[in-house]
Amino acid sequence: TVGAVALDGHGHLAAATSTGGYTAKPAGRVGDSPIIGAGTWADDRTCAVSGTGKGELFIRLAVGHDIHARMLYAGQSLEDAAGGLIHGELAALGGGAGLCAVDRSGNVTLPYNTGGMYRGWIRGDEVYVAIHED
């Protein structure tokens, strides 16, 4: 699974996700990537999110929308909302998971609970790319 989130020069957010699913999945099985509110979410009031990992859990927890809701209704930061789900509910359910997210102020978070996640961000002259801790 691959994904991207962006904040543009006009202050608008967007998210996109694309995947082949997982190896040896049943024919016809669909995960969270095409499910808006689960693997993909964007709302200018809060954040943009793209997820990766055990799709069935992202759907059950409506992860993308839940991060948005924790920010909009509970006033949580992006980092707390996203990290809370990845290291909290998703980890507790035993789901390998990760995501990239950006908020309306341009803060970025890239949490994951597996051994590594291909990830990166770019802002001005700064480019960050990592797989494991680095």
Residue 93 engages other proteins in binding (rule: CB under 8 A): no
Site for other proteins in 4-23 (CB under 8 A): 4-23
Q: Are strands 108-109 and 97-103 parallel, antiparallel or unpaired?
A: antiparallel
Which of residues 12 and 88 has its CB atom nearest to other proteins in the complex? 12
88 interacts with other proteins by CB under 8 A: no
Binding map of other proteins across residues 43-72, x = CB under 8 A, - = no contact: xx---x-x-xx-------------------
Q: With binding defined as CB under 8 A, does residue 112 bind other proteins?
A: yes
Q: In what order do the strands lie in the sheet with 40-42?
A: 40-42, 47-53, 97-103, 108-109
**What is the C-alpha separation between 67 and 76, in angstroms, rounded?**
9
Instruction: CB nearer to other proteins: give 8 or 74.
Output: 8
13 C-beta neighbours (distance < 10 Å), count: 22
Shortest distance (Å) from residue 72 CB to other proteins: 12
Mark whether 1 is an active-site residue: yes
Q: What's at 66, amino acid-wise?
A: D
Cα end-to-end span (Å), the chain = 20
Catalytic residues: 1
